Amino acid sequence: MCFCISVALRLYDPIRRRVLCRSLIVVGDWGRMGRSDKALRAIPGWFYPSDIALFRFALTESGVQVGRGDLAEVGTYLGKSAVLIGEYLHPGEVFTVIDLFGDVSGALANDTENAQQYPALTEQRFRENYKKAHDHLPVIVKGPSEILPDHAAADAHRFIHIDGSHLYEHVATDVMTAQKLLAPQGIAVFDDYRSVHTPGVAAAVWQAVEHGMHVIAVSPMKMYATWGDPRPWRKSLTSWLPGSGLDYEEQSVLGEALFRVSPKPSVLLRALVAYQKRRK
C-alpha cells in the first residue's frame, strides 16, 4: 500500500511525471473529439490537459480582449500545441510558427539540447501532422526564433506561445519579440518557466515581470501573461475557472494577483492522500 501511495504521489508531481512521460504520447482534452483533437492526441510532445484547457480559454478570450489578431508559436516541434492553436484561427488572421526543425542555432548548449531532445524532428513531419488536423498550413519559418519579428506583424497578435530554446539569452529575446508582436491586450504563454533544467527561462520571464509584464496565471508547466491591463483577463479567469474542472487558488506575487492553476487530483489519488494523512 505504501509503495502504491509513493508511486501515485510521484506521478502526481508534474516534474517527475514529465520525466516519466517524455517518451509517451500525452493525452489531450478528453471532452472533445474533433478532427484536430484526434490529431493532437496522436502527436508526440509535451502538452498537458490543464494547459490544453488554459490554451482554449486564452485563445477564445483573446478574441474578446483584442478582437481580430494574429497567432504565433516559437518552438513547434511536431505540432502538438500548434494543432490546437490553429483550431482558433479566424478568417483574416495569420498563424506563424518558427522552429529550427533540426538546423543548428550556433549556440552550443541550444544545439546540444535540440540534438538530444528532438532527434526525429523535421519540417516535413510537422507539416504532415498539421495537415491531419487542418486544411491549411500556418506560415512556417525555419530558423532561430530571433528572426520571428522579420516574418510576423508588430502590435498585431492576440496570442503567442514561447516554447523554443531554454537558454536565458534566447528566451530574453523571445520575451522582447512577444512584447513587440502582441496587440495591447494580447496574451503570451511561456513554457518551462519553472522547470529544474530551465533556470534561464525562469530568469527571463521574471525579469520581464520586473519590467511591466503582468502574470495572470501559472500552471505546473506554463506562465500566462500580458503587457496590457491584466484586470479584464483576471475577471474573465475568475468566471471561467470554477467550471473549468481545474484546481486553482489566487496568490499575490510582487504585489499583483495571479491564479495558480493545476489539474484536479483523481478520486483515487485523493483517497490515497487522505489515507496517508490518517496514518500520520
Ligand X SMILES: C[S@@+](CC[C@H](N)C(=O)[O-])C[C@H]1O[C@@H](n2cnc3c(N)ncnc32)[C@H](O)[C@@H]1O
Kindly state the number of chain residues that form the binding site for ligand X, as judged by CB under 6 A.
22
Contact stretch for ligand X (CB under 6 A) within 14-22, 43-51, 235-243, 251-259: 43-51
Q: Does 45 bind ligand X (CB under 6 A)?
A: yes
Tell me which residue of 81, 64, 40 sits closest to 187, measured CA to CA: 64
Distance of CA 211 to the CA centre of its chain: 22
- Would you count residue 47 as binding ligand X (CB under 6 A)? yes
x/- contact string, 162-201, with ligand X (CB under 6 A)? -xxx----x-------------------------------
Q: Does 96 bind ligand X (CB under 6 A)?
A: no
Task: Please say which residue, 225 or 272, places its beta carbon nearer to ligand X.
Answer: 225
Which window, 74-82, 214-222, 232-240, 242-250, contacts ligand X (CB under 6 A)?
74-82
Q: How far is the CB of 112 from ligand X (least distance, A)?
A: 11
Residue 166 Ramachandran class (φ > 0 left, ψ -120 to 50 alpha, else beta): alpha
Q: Which residues contact 215 (CB under 8 A, 6 or more apart)?
A: 209, 223, 224, 225, 230, 253, 256, 258
CA 221, CA 238: separation in Å to the nearest integer?
20
Contact indicator for 256, 263 with CB cutoff of 8 Å = no
7 versus 203: smaller Cβ distance to ligand X = 203
What is the distance between the alpha carbons of residues 93 and 59, in angstroms, rounded to a whole number?
Answer: 13
| By CB under 6 A, residue 105 contacts ligand X | yes
Q: Please identify, using beta-carbon distances, which residue of 45 and 149 lies nearer to ligand X.
A: 45
* Segment interacting with ligand X (CB under 6 A) among 92-100, 150-158, 238-246, 260-268: 92-100
By C-beta, is 62 or 177 nearer to ligand X?
A: 177
Whole-number Å distance between alpha carbons of 263 and 245: 8
Cβ pair 251, 274 in contact under 8 A: no
248: region left, alpha or beta (phi > 0 left; psi from -120 to 50 alpha): beta
Residue 222 as a binder of ligand X (CB under 6 A): the answer is: no
Pair type for strands 139-142 and 246-253: unpaired
- Using the rule CB under 6 A, is 149 a contact of ligand X? no
Q: Residues interacting with ligand X, by CB under 6 A? A: 45-47, 75-77, 80-81, 98-100, 105, 110, 114, 118, 121, 144-145, 163-165, 170
